[in-house]
Amino acid sequence: MFPTSLVGAAILFSILSHDLAVAKVVVTSDIPCRPFHEIYPSGKELCEKMWDGSFVYETNRSRAYTMWFFDKDNPNDEVTQNLGLSPPALCHLRYLHKDTPGPEPDTFAECHPWKKRSCCTEVTVNSVQKLKESYGPEWHWDRCGPLSPACERFFIQEACFYECEPNAGLFRKYPDSDYNASDPSHNQWQMSGMPIWSDYCDAWHRACRNDQFCAHDDGNFFSCAAIYEEVQTMDGGTVVGIVFGCLVIVALIGFLGFLVFRERTGQPVFKPLEQQAS
Ligand SMILES: *[C@@H]1O[C@H](CO)[C@@H](O)[C@H](O)[C@H]1NC(C)=O
Ligand SMILES: *[C@@H]1O[C@H](CO)[C@@H](O)[C@H](O)[C@H]1NC(C)=O
């Protein structure tokens, strides 16, 4: 009897672990999705809110960076000079970045503007898929369904800009002067307050107008990524609880069956006291 209940438990467990995978899918599609134009009133909110303060909307072109360019030389170097700074000799951001900016080989195509001098290596940015998947499933920009090519193009540009643009390293949220490696709230990957050309933000807003995006916390992509993790772990815990509960029930049923079986075959497990003594 007991081995039978073990088999039952194993079957139940496999069914429930399959359910766990299904639950994940449900959770992902459970995020509040709305069209861009309902989430962000304009390009300003898109650039500032979506990236949790990493960027600010700047209308003065000579003080504003662009996330993409066709010029032979990177126009963002001049912006840095206009801000009274120098283009950095090191890649200060730390995610997949190189230590120092430098040239990339002829096969470097997806993030081509930075081919001459980049903080990214070709292997980390060689396809749209790679750029989208570098940061984990919670950061996929198409969590509310596939984006139109026009809209997705801006997310690809932003990803290239973040990984490849040396000047982005000047806007670390915790610059080297403040960064404390033993403080868990500090990191070397986050940006803050980098001025982005307003026309660029407005174009992004036009391109994505009717596409769907995560509307949680007024469209803050960082908060949206955070709830993805929260929901997932909570969900995993619940399922583990259910599985454990079911195992206990199956074991009890098995044990009861065993008792009945012994009783029927005339060998009860629990005999009256007088019978046991004789
Ligand atoms: C734009 O920024 C430049 C560089 O900082 C400055 O010299 C210029 O006065 C600014 N223009 C306006 C209209 O504010
Ligand atoms: C760095 O962070 C740790 C942990 O939060 C803290 O104990 C320490 O005082 C900090 N050091 C400085 C220089 O702020």
Beta bridge partners, 33, equal: 214
pLDDT of residue 95: 85
Nearest residue (by CA) to ligand 1, atom 11, is 60
Best substitution site from 176, 179, 183 to test ligand 2's pocket, by max atoms within 8 Å of Cβ? 183
Q: How far apart are CA 94 and CA 211, in angstroms?
A: 31
Tens place of pLDDT for every residue, the chain, 278 residues? 445 555 444 544 454 554 444 444 434 556 899 999 999 999 999 999 999 999 999 999 999 999 999 999 999 999 999 999 999 999 988 888 888 999 999 999 999 999 999 999 988 888 899 899 888 888 899 999 999 999 999 999 999 999 999 999 999 999 999 999 999 999 999 999 999 999 999 999 999 999 999 999 999 999 999 888 676 666 556 556 666 776 887 888 787 877 777 778 777 777 666 555 54
Best substitution site from 182, 185, 186 to test ligand 2's pocket, by max atoms within 8 Å of Cβ? 182
Distance 68 CA to ligand 1 centre (A): 22
Using CA atoms, how far residue 265 sits from 3, 166, 255, in Å, is 19, 81, 15
Distance 65 CA to ligand 1 centre (A): 14
pLDDT of residue 236: 59
The pTM is what?
Answer: 0.75
Question: Which amino acid belongs to residue 238?
Answer: T
Q: Is 203 exposed, middle or buried (0-12, 13-18, 19+ CB in 10 A)?
A: middle
Distance 118 CA to ligand 1 centre (A): 28
Distance 156 CA to ligand 1 centre (A): 30
Q: How far apart are CA 63 and CA 249, in angstroms?
A: 67
Please give the number of the atom of ligand 1 that sits closest to the Cα of 83: 5
Nearest residue (by CA) to ligand 2, atom 5, is 183
